[in-house]
Amino acid sequence: MVFVCSTYDERFTVEAFDRGQPTLTAWLTRHAATAQAKRTARVFVWTEEGRSVVLAYFTLSAHEIVEADLPRRLARGMPERIPAVLLGKLALDSRLHRRGLGGHLLFDAYHRVLAATHTVAARYLVVDAIEDDAARFYEHYGFLLSPTEPSLRMVRNLGDIQADIALR
């Protein structure tokens, strides 16, 4: 199966998408088009080559993180407010679970973020994990938990992401 990543628009079919997690499923079907139109998030979707049914998606938005929300080793020498990118959503259809594709979807997002930083500066990629399993997933890929309690906010330095991509 070959996946194609595209910017979301009305030609894509989202009704069959089921993440197995109601919040992420509902967001795609109810809010993705509005977020895209109002430029509050850029929505990227995965489809099978030559098809329009969405099998996975992620969102990226301009963001800012405050120094107090950074893990200590990332905060050293940083100003109070630091430009970042928010990975707001990352979801695979339940039919694709347990195939190791979550990491591929995340690396697809990494590539988009790094390309964007050639035009707009950002230092970190930020994610708010929705549950402990999601936090473990992001931790596996090098994200660090924010010291701010009681959140599952996680942060990764874009320089580290760029180094990971170079190793692949």
Report the catalytic residues: 138
State the DSSP H helix or E strand holding residue 54, giving kind and residue range, or none if neither: strand 54-66
Q: Tell me, what DSSP letter sits at residue 141?
A: T
How many helices (H) and strands (E) are present in the chain, helices listed first? 5, 7
CA 46 to chain centre: 13
Of 23, 20, 86, 17, nearest to 57 (Cα)?
A: 17
* Neighbouring residues of 50: CB distance < 8 A, sequence distance ≥ 6: none
Residue whose token pair is 């109002």: 38
Of 104, 91, 105, nearest to 19 (Cα)?
A: 91
Of 24, 22, 10, 83, nearest to 56 (Cα)?
A: 24
